[in-house]
Structure 1
Amino acid sequence: MSSEKNDVPAWELRFRAARVSLPDWADDAPDRSLYVSNTTGTYQVYAWDRATDRHRKATDRPHGTTDAVLSPDGEWIWWFDDTDGDEYGIWRRQPFTGGPDEVAVPGLGPSYEAGLALGRDGTVVVGRSTDEDGTTLHLLRPGAAEAVEIYRHAEYGGVGDLSHDGTLLAIDHTEHGDAMHNAIRVVATADGSTVAELDEVTGCAEPRGLACLGFAPVPGDSRLLLAHQRRGRWEPILWDPLTGAETELVLRTEDGRPLPGDVSAQWRPGARALLVEHEYEARSELFSYDLASGELTRVTTPRGTVVGASPRPDGTVEYLWSSAAEPSVVRSTTGDVVLRAPGAVPPGSVPVQDVWVDGPGGPVHALVQRPVGDGPFPTVFEVHGGPTHHDTDSFAAGPAAWLDHGFAVVRVNYRGSTGYGQAWTDALHERVGLIELEDIGAVRDWAVRSGLADPARLVLSGGSWGGYLTLLGLGVQPDSWSLGVAAVPVADYLTAYADEMEALRSLDRTLFGGTPDEVPERWAASSPLSYVERVKAPVYISAGVNDPRCPIRQIENYVDKLTDLGLPHEVYRYDAGHGSLVVDERIKQLRLELDFVKRHLKV
């Protein structure tokens, strides 16, 4: 990949190129939209009046802002204000047309965010999570001076959605203690009393998850769109909490087969149809589903990944699409580009190759990108975070940078990843981290055996959960890797559990089957700190000092142990949370990683 003007390398241009998110429009004012962009070098929220094509930067914080919601009438922008990326803060709001920010809900102190619902009548429900109170939901009526608490529980939960008339509130909760499989409760906003409940975990031999996808967007319709796992994968269903009626949605392809993989949906305006989003084998596609006829019609999109889609009142669909080779763009089913960031389009990259490798838990899907030339190549195994996430055929500046420098890139959708059915995701239990490494190890052996990867130049790399697997892998598989590059990782699991936000503690208890006091041997077996003395490869670690997800203290414990053992390592600490929203900072971090790897591998 050649350099561009001013000798700025292509990999850096990809980071610097302005990009935009999928616009989110106001339900009752569709000409008013919000989107997030890095146009100024930091990711901020922008207001877009489509009628006048006026764009206005709504937030301007040094560490960036991405969490924002537009009120149904389009009059107010709500945005979450934390401190330096620590995710602990309050909601503020400002007029869509501009004006000073104000505290959105007086009387509520800072917390971790647990959802927000804005009703058409002005009713507001704010979800909060704190170490002291667990999950609490607070309702603010129009004209009221303060919000009132309508829900509280020690286990993690969150706001689902408000009904069109504001009388019903759906709550996603994990009161049963299984943070991987939510239950749904619908309460009356008048007094917080329970109207109906769906729980497919309590008393069930095989727990199944539920997720709130939204109430019907029309007056007088109490139907709630949910996602369920009753057939071992995510599928949509309609449920009326007032009558208890459930409507199965039979989604079939053009040749009559069920859609494989995971399926989600959202209401189309008018509630007569759904926009169906289908994820399968690292790619996605869209369909429209007519509720009266049961007809499923494909919405034509290019091969790749749709990371978000929005059905408009005029019948069109806007979607954000990309592939590994082509940068993202907001498109419409009209064929037009809906929203394009100013400036040059970032350079493209290399398409992915699909590889399936036999693993101990079944076939493992990996996405492989090869640089120019003949192998075997120095190879970066870029491990995704989550763990309930998966790598896709979508554009990413990080892998493209490694390719530019002559590295092959391999991304593994190990057990625990989404997009391959519930059994694959739920396989991650008790032997946390070790299961994923078995799958990564199987793909690593294939990469060497096939001639793709040079066994003397193998880099294990990742961020968040991927950073955790990197550090764990360097200790559990010390002879398999030449270097490790871990960003915002879990390094000392016991200390991480003590310091992290409650939502992640809840997930950890589910993954391990208990607390560190209840099953200490499982926690010790899955902590990178337990294996640090076996590490042979040089280690590079980057960490945000304000990170509530992978807190800095547990990383310092691991680094101190590396130092005591005299093991080669480098550490970069930066003033942000779980990653940075500042483009220059992202470039600096990748430049440091590239420099570390090139020095140690002599490439």
Structure 2
Amino acid sequence: MTESNGSDSRDHHRRGHMQDKDMPDWEKRFRAPRVSLPDWAEDAPDRSLFVSNATGTYELYAWDRATGEQRQVTDRPNGTTDGVLTPDGAWIWWFDDKDGDEFGVWRRQRFGGGEDELAAPGLDPSYPAGLALGRDGRTAVVGRSTDEDGTTIHLARAGDPPVQIYRHRESAGVGDLSHDGSLIAIEHTEHGDAMHSALRVLRPDGTAVAELDDTKGGTEELGLEVLGFAPVDGDTRLLIGHQRRGRWEPLVWDVATGEETDLALELPGDVSAEWYPDGTALLIAHSFEARSELYRYDLARRALVPVPTPAGSVSGATARPDGSVEYLWSSAAEPSAVRSTTGRVVLDPPGMKSPGSVPVEDVWVEGPGGRIHALVQRPAGVPGPLPTVFDIHGGPTWHDSDAFAAGPAAWVDHGYAVVRVNYRGSTGYGRAWTDALKHRVGLIELEDIAAVREWAVTSGLADPSRLILTGGSWGGYLTLLGLGTQPDAWTLGIAAVPVADYVTAYHDEMEALKAMDRTLLGGTPEEVPERFEASSPLTYVDRVKAPVYISAGVNDPRCPIRQIDNYVKRLEARGAVHEVYRYDAGHGSLVVDERIKQVRLELDFAERHLNGRRPV
């Protein structure tokens, strides 16, 4: 891999870590170089962009497939992951924030290298709200979010001042720009429900062409999402996702005629799609019960044909101009790899290879809102009951899957069973399951977690005297809330970047998350104070019995530091056993050394408070 800058620090990283034969497997999983699914330029498919941690920090890389050359594009202390290629492959746009605070500007760099420059001069720093780049090489549609303006969308053309074409107080975002640049699709929540978007198609001057809003005219809350315009000049078909049958499914909407072509695919679970490059077929991504698979759907014949992939999870896929499909695949036991239906590994980063882990087991538990799906990993050949970690996913609209994860694998290496719960609010189990957590936020998820905890203990898997509740972001929030509302259920808690004081978090967080909280709780803290109080970990802090470990990024715009400090002060006032680790980043870290440090601190905290020994 050729590199343009920062070679001294990368060489030190390799000398200091990658040649260490005594390194434990759990650390190798974090240090082993990995890559994302490469994005490619629509009109220059040999030019690709991907993310890698090869230097010890996640950064953007350009890859010329014709020559094989790979070049590091960005080099920042806290890493960079948000980047897009222009359709002609001439430029790489990347988002430049300050130390992970997600507030910044778009910059661009030529594909072959050179100085960075402002990509859209005239636009002030903001939170990003989508980006679409034109095939003419000079047009961009830029979405912005700020506390003062809500969401604004601008048309930026090289050499001209940006023109605002959309503005609203509620959250919105850029969906896509049509192949010929004549149509712009946006997702918006002007109706006030941040969980269920409506769609609008605009001309470049901001005038509306078409509207689609499934939130109107019924009692059910239904959402829509933009999946992309057809990749053909003059084609007014827009691929969208809908929830009309209780799950995510694709349909084709001709925004010029209003015609809707419902694919009505006979697949359980959620279904998404993207266009094949010639516009005659769709690449279907099907997610069901924590696994995923791919299909090719021929639009003319209405035929669905499987795209062979191994059992596990496909976290991204793209159809190439030659008809092949590249996809990022992993399972709980096998590390991720970028594969192709041609049978080859697309990208194989040099250096240390990640060790595998143990397979995941499926468990279904009857809960107060229906059957709950949990994923279990346990040390091979070790009988229970075991010290058990309930590792709770974030989101909340997300789900754990049969995919490789270095964090759970580290716990298994140290003798713990790991249970991951796809509680109500998780995706992949239908719209009703995802939407169920409204108003009693946090408390509903914890009811499901409690049901799975009961199964873990009664089944003989978990030692009830050694139960750890942990998670990051929303999982960190549920950890703190669970320690207070279920104080006798957990032996200790480990919360990363959590919501700890919901009212202060609301006032300090980025505007898009305020909109989400208003949707989840039914209003602002001033409008529904009783709901915020019932759902805030701070309300129950005086009931916490277990030792608490909290880690937080001081620049985090999602779970800001002030509300965490408020919670910690209450723990201190009680003399409660707790430890706090603050680090210079945002909502998590893109630096491998920092991530390893955090995991080591968590393992150490658990071992000291459960067993009185330090981990290896």
Letter in 2 for 1:79: W
Deviates more, 1:376-385 or 1:510-519: 510-519
Secondary structure at 2:170 match in 1 = coil
Identity of aligned residues (%): 73
> 1: distance between equivalents of 2:91 and 2:19?
41
The 2-side partners of 1:284 and 1:295 are apart by 19
State the one-letter code of the partner of 1:589: Q
2:257 to 225, 243, 248: 243
Partner Cα distance (2:20, 2:312) in 1: 29
Q: C-alpha separation between the residues in 2 aligned to 1:207 and 1:595?
A: 45
**In the alignment, which residue of structure 2 is the partner of 1:221?**
235
Deviation of 1:456 after TM superposition, in Å, equals: 0.2
Map of 2:377 onto structure 1: 369
Map of 1:485 onto structure 2: 494
1:592 equivalent to 2:601? Answer yes
* Structure 1 stretch displaced more, 407-416 or 334-343: 334-343
Q: Which residue of 124, 129, 135 maps to 2:145?
A: 129
TM norm structure 1: 0.98
Aligned to 1:84, the other structure's residue is in SS state coil
Q: Distance in 2 between matches of 1:94 and 1:347?
A: 35
- What's the CA shift for 1:203? 3.7
How is 1:554-565 mapped onto 2 (pairs within 5 angstroms)?
554-565=563-574
Contact 1:34/1:45, CA 8 A, preserved across alignment: yes
Residues 414-459 of structure 1: CA deviation (Å, up to 9, x unaligned): 0000000000000010000000000000000000000000000000
Matched, 1:408 2:422: no
The corresponding residue for 1:255 is none
Q: 1:346 aligns with which of 354, 358, 365?
A: 354
Q: Is the 8 A contact 1:352 1:393 kept in 2?
A: yes
Structure 2 match to 1:26: 41
1:156 aligns with 2:164: no
Partner of residue 398, structure 1: 407
The alignment's TM-score, normalised by the length of structure 2, stands at 0.96
Kindly provide the amino acid, as one letter, of the partner of residue 113 in structure 2: G
Which position in structure 2 is the counterpart of 1:185? Answer: 200
- 1:582 CA displacement: 0.2
Q: Which amino acid aligns with 1:124?
A: A
Residue identity opposite 1:137 in structure 2: I
- Aligned residue number for residue 452 of structure 1: 461
TM-aligned CA deviation for residue 348 of structure 1: 0.3
* Counterpart residue identity of residue 523, structure 2: G
Q: Deviations over 1:140-189 (max 9, x none)?
A: 12x43211100000000000000111011000000000000000000111
> Alpha-carbon deviations, 1:9-49, whole Å to 9, x = none?
11001000000000000000000000000000000000000
* Deviation of the 1:81 alpha carbon: 0.1
Secondary structure of 2:130 counterpart = strand
**Equivalences for 1:105-504 in 2 at 5 Å?**
105-121=120-136, 122-141=138-157, 143-189=158-204, 191-251=205-265, 258-372=266-380, 373-504=382-513
- How far residue 202 of structure 1 moved from its aligned partner, in angstroms, is 3.0
Indicate whether 1:520 and 2:534 are aligned. Answer: no
C-alpha separation between the residues in 2 aligned to 1:596 and 1:562? Answer: 17
Match of 1:42 in 2: 57
SS of the residue 1:474 aligns to = helix
Q: Which residue does 2:3 correspond to in 1? A: none
Distance 2:217 2:585 in 1: 42
Could you say what secondary structure the match of 2:107 adopts?
Answer: strand
Partner amino acid, structure 1, of 2:361: Q
The 3-state SS of whatever aligns with 2:482 is helix
Alpha-carbon distance between aligned partners in 2 of 1:448 and 1:478, rounded to the nearest angstrom: 16
Once residues 453 and 559 of structure 2 are traced to their aligned partners in structure 1, the CA distance between those partners, rounded to angstroms, is 26
- State the match for 2:99 in structure 1: 84
CA-CA distance at 1:518 after TM superposition: 1.1
1:204: how far off? 2.4
Query: Which amino acid counterpart does residue 425 of structure 2 have in structure 1?
Result: G
4+ runs deviating over 2 angstroms: 3-6
Which consecutive unaligned segments of at least 5 residues does structure 2 have? 1-17
**1:219: Cα distance to partner?**
1.0
**Pairs aligned (count):** 593
> Is the CA contact 1:72–1:119 (under 8 Å) kept in the aligned structure 2?
yes
CA distance in 1, matches of 2:264, 2:421: 31
Structure 2 equivalent of residue 100 of structure 1: 115
The residue type paired with residue 404 of structure 1 is D
Partner in structure 2 of residue 571 of structure 1: 580
Residue 48 of structure 1 aligns to a residue whose secondary structure is strand
CA distance in 2, matches of 1:204, 1:98: 53
Instruction: Give, in whole Å, the separation in 2 of the partners of 1:368 and 1:502.
Output: 36
Structure 1 distance, partners of 2:498, 2:349, is: 32
Separation in structure 1 between the aligned mates of residue 291 and residue 486 of structure 2, nearest angstrom: 30
How much has 1:357 moved relative to structure 2? Answer: 0.2
Shift of 1:343: 1.0
Distance in 1 of aligned mates of 2:446 and 2:348: 40
Q: For 1:7, what is the secondary structure of its paired residue?
A: coil
1:302-324 CA-to-partner distances (Å, cap 9, x unmatched) read: 00000000100000000000000
Q: Given residue 314 of structure 1, which amino acid in structure 2 is its aligned partner? A: D
Q: CA deviation at 1:5?
A: 5.4
Letter in 2 for 1:380: V
1:70-117 superposed Cα distances (whole Å, 9 cap, x missing partner) = 000000000000000000000000100000000001111100000000
Q: Which amino acid aligns with 1:75?
A: A
Deviations 1:375-394 (A, max 9, x none): 10000000000000000000
Query: Structure 1 CA distance, aligned partners of 2:161 and 2:19?
Result: 55
Structure 2 counterpart of 1:56, one-letter code? R
Alpha-carbon spacing, 1:568–1:317, altered in 2? closer, same or farther (3 Å): same
Q: Is the 8 A contact 1:4 1:10 kept in 2?
A: no
What CA deviation, in whole Å up to 9, does each residue of 1:473-524 have, x standing for no partner?
A: 0000000000000000000000000000000000000000111111110110
Classify the secondary structure of the residue corresponding to 2:21: helix
State the AA in 2 paired with 1:81. D
Question: What secondary structure does 1:297 align onto?
Answer: strand
Once the two structures are superposed, residues 336-355 of structure 1 have per-residue CA deviations (whole angstroms, 9 ceiling, x without a partner) of 00001111210000000000
How many angstroms apart in 1 are the aligned matches of 2:464 and 2:219?
Answer: 44
Q: Distance in 1 between matches of 2:68 and 2:412?
A: 38
Distance 2:211 2:249 in 1: 19
- Are the equivalent residues in 2 in contact too, given 1:279–1:419 (CA < 8 A)? yes
- Structure 1 SS opposite 2:514: helix
Question: Matched residues in 2 for 1:150 and 1:408: separation?
Answer: 52
Contact 1:262/1:279, CA 8 A, preserved across alignment = yes
CA contact (8 A) 1:359 1:439 kept: yes
Q: Residue 483 of structure 2 aligns to a residue in which SS?
A: helix
Match for 1:394: what amino acid? A
- In structure 1, list runs of 5 or more residues that go unmatched: 252-257
**SS of the residue 1:259 aligns to:** coil
CA distance in 2, matches of 1:182, 1:525: 27
